[in-house]
Chains A and B, each alone.
Chain A
Amino acid sequence: MSSHRVAGKGRIDTTRPVSFTFDGRRYSGAAGDTVASALLAHGVHLMGRSFKYHRPRGPVTAGSEEPNALIGTRRGPGRFEPNTRATVQEIWQGLETTSQNKYPSLKWDVGAVNDAGYMLFSAGFYYKTFMWPKSFWDKVYEPFIRAAAGLGVSPSEDDPDRYASRNMHCDVLVVGAGPTGLAAAHSAALAGAKVVLVDEHAEMGGALLSDPDVQIDGAGAWTWLASRLAELRALGVRTMTRTTAIGYYHQNLVGLCEKLTDHLPDLPADTPRERMWRVRAKRVVLAQGALEKPLVFHGNDRPGVMLAGSAQTYLNRFGVLVGKAPVVLTSHDSAWFAAFDLADAGAKVQAIVDTRDSVRDDLRAGASARGIEVRLSHTATGTSGRLRVKSLRVAPLRADQVGAATEIACDAVLMSGGWTPSLHLFSHTKGSLTWDDTQTTFLPKDTPEDCHIAGASRGLWGYEAALVDGDKAGREAAQALGLKIAAGRFEVAQDRTGSGVSHRELPSDRSPARSKAFVDFQNDVTAKDLRLAVREGMRSIEHVKRYTTNGMATDQGKMSNINGLNIAADALGKPQPQVGLTTFRPPYTPTTFGCFAGYHRGSHFEVTRKTPIDGWAEAHGAAFEPVGQWRRAWYFPQPGESMDDAVRRECRATRESVGIFDASTLGKIEVMGPGAVEFMNRMYTNPWTKLGIGRCRYGLLLGDDGYIRDDGVIGRLGQDRFHVTTTTGGAARVLNTMEDYLQTEWPDLDVWLTSTTEQWATVALNGPNAAALLAPLVEGVTLSDDDFPHMSCAECTVAGMPARLFRISFTGEVGFEVNVPAPMGLRLWELLWERGRQYGITPYGTEAMHVLRAEKGYIIVGQDTDGTVTPYDTGMSWAIGKKKPDFVGMRGLARPDLQAPGRKQLVGLLSEDRSKLEEGAQIVFDPNQPVPMKMVGHVTSSYDVGTSGRPIALALVEGGHDRMGEIVHIPMPDRTIAAKITPTVFVDPDNARLKL
């Protein structure tokens, strides 16, 4: 038996010992223990160091609101988690845990020097200290802050665990399985509703687990609990433990994080670590209960000082005495019951110190019967002890004057400053709150969601009140769904009702400037810091919070918000509701990224679209680049080749003989129907009426603002059928735009739009030998300039496959694009590859394609245009059907700004020193003007691996079309480059190479 374990107490199973390590030392506990309860059973309170001052800390709670006892847990390689709350983590055989924020050891920590310098590290310390000199930022301040900041140590290995996501629908979701939630689930289920009951703990029961002596319906609390749970399950209620409702979202969507394996010694092969549930509930009952408030006094953070209710939980649920000689310090009745329970279990309670001048007779009688000294009208002004509390310094209060202090020797201080209703999820609903002056707390008021809040979370106290209110909430939820049920009845004996008063800092004889009375334990914020923030001009509670970081730690101020508000309100001289409460945000407790990511990780993080020819490219050593969601072959390096070498070779081969290119990613939209021609006339700038069947045209798509949105070659396959191609990245957007106009502006047009991007594989052949290679395979079309000139298209057969053949060019060479059904794409490619050997066929990737098209001045939408570029700016007025009554963008092009002189226009640039310009580099006319210079444009495309014999670039330059031959300047970090403005076509300006 461990030193502080009480035989016969608790719900742990002492017949099943469990051993684990903490900072390398082995400890034993029992099945059902948390790390905190198991360590406390050995008398170990010191479990961590605080964040800022590195003060020694022990657990102050027994639940998920714990600010201090944060540990790292490890389960072999990859399975390390920092900042786990020792009060929540269940132990299992072999669990390794470590304390945090200490060096070299927990008991002797160098960083604790910060504690001695606490006068320096006050609120706003970082803002005030790290101001100057500016040069210190990079080298001194930032490395220091980075090293000091952060809780725990981030895991550095890949997470080997799996996480799942699920959806769930139910009639009533009940959050919290204490007496309120149990009653609510019961009445709703009895009425016939489909009920789900969730609780973050390993066991259901909430406060009942810590109060076994309460009698409900003639049975002990635990007996009643067991039978009620059995009844709920028999009624079909789905009960989920270790499941935290982390957030309440629109229209009753509640996110649940279910932890499935963190408590198991052996990981099951087929179970995810955590499961994220998205529950859409018709009604939600919030029964989250209340959280106990600490008292704010000097030294209230010393290991051994903890909440009285939590001490009661450690005793009754885990069979652990947190101290053998505790002193109770309280302003609320509830802590008296904690004192009684600990005394009955053998602790020598040193005293009950209550700030109030009178308490109920039954409580005083209880203390008297147990021989516990009672000190009313007393305050606490400090504690002593280094790694564990040794004494509490108390002093009488007379008319708010602090009298002579005395020391009470102790090994634990059990404090209670009253209870705060847990309003976190209620606040997520944008529910409004109302201030209750008697309880000095906010209570829930109205919520826009279909939500009920009951029990201690709306300020009720005592088991009978909780059961009755929960029963009512479940009944009301059922009634809202049209289900009826009579009110439940509860006989409660030995109920533990109570009330209390609320304090700011406890009155003290200590100078406030030298007082370390902690409000936020996790972020080391003291009452002094809050008052300082107000003195320095912070008026809003939101500013006070950010300046002091009160409530901004991983516990989100579960313990500190209300105390912080009370102190800030006092400093501001305003009532609390006028100061307001900071916003609660999801998640309720820290939640793993894995749980949010679910299945979306690794290769499932984002879709990777691959063409039918992707595998061939991979087998032939292609380097890939992402284009939208596609991965495209970028270039095909041969052994020993650099990227530049490869691209240069691919470009030359295509201009000299024949290159083969996978163009399958191009967006393809089938536009068909009696209104197809009119639709195309209205959508695209170009005229389509006179385009013959079997002919193609380069189409330009604008927005109604007149700017270029997309482009592509469009073939007319029939009177009422067009094969539209779009840019690879723009396909979905173009289809959406087309659908938008078709559905909402032109419902008169009888047109159907179908995405065919993935139905066709597209193989492009470019180069002087392209026709010779392809012609023998084509049936139904003669590949001559007479029969099938440039910009022709046809439905035919290629190598026995049904095909749509286009004679088009994005390289300036004779070019064909063969579309075959996607499953045949690879076969076509391999056939052309095989038969192309005689011509030295060369596969080329997107980089060579970019170079070849730039040499011809063909734009890439999104690279050479940026959403503010018109067809006139790119020198493409030829693409505009000037006789058409309207098209999308026609009126936009007539806007004054788009007609104004001095617009940036697309031109070619040749650097005078034959160096390669940098894409994105800014351009100026006069390099000698003072800084900041007037920038007149930028380089949009630039290559030095092409076939034109020198580096080329495209650029947008103010009034560029009228500046042919002029010199502009490109200032770079090391020099300024002069470049000459030229036309955009660098190779074959007469298009002679497009002819066979």
Chain B
Amino acid sequence: MELFLEVTLKLLQGFGTTCALFILTLIFALPLGLLISFGTMSKFKPLRTVMKVIVWIVRGIPLMLQVFIVYYVPGFIGITVLIKHRFLSATIAFVLNYACYFSEIFRAGIEAVPRGQTEAGLVLGMTKGQIFTRVTLQQVFKRIIPPMGNEIITLVKDTALARVISVMDIIMEAERFAASSGIIWPLFYTAVFYLIFVGALTLLFGYLEKKQSYYKI
């Protein structure tokens, strides 16, 4: 029983790191993803091409490799700050990676709003900014809840990749029990933490979807 408490406390500590990485990634990757989606939809072709290439590269390379790249590569050109900050390195890699995935979800959501909505706003004398914030964005939000929910749930579990540069997440804490005392069950016990977290997120997305169901698009 004492061991169980000790393991739980240690895992909770690691889970704190997992949650911090998760939340920071969301806070920065959501707005960045929206900006990137504007870039990939830009009428200015050079910008559009550059953004599409960036999205291709970031989505095309394993996230684990990107974590390594952000952690080590700046050091080659004399930027040593990241090599000293593992958590920061992991966060940057996660933000860039998820922003690119989110951008495609945003793009799909924005392009799905009929052109007529914008035109209706225009003939009513609204500015493009007003049309985007008052008309388009809410419809985008309603449309993208299911794919966003999917992606965000994937992010919860992807955070485990941060331990390749020794960020002390929940799985790494569990592995340390295995390495030091030869007990392996804490590793499987971590699944409970993930399940509870993902369960809460599932409820949250279900709630948001229900809240938006008062209108149809």
Q: Do A and B interact?
A: no
Binding site for B on A (CB under 8 A): none
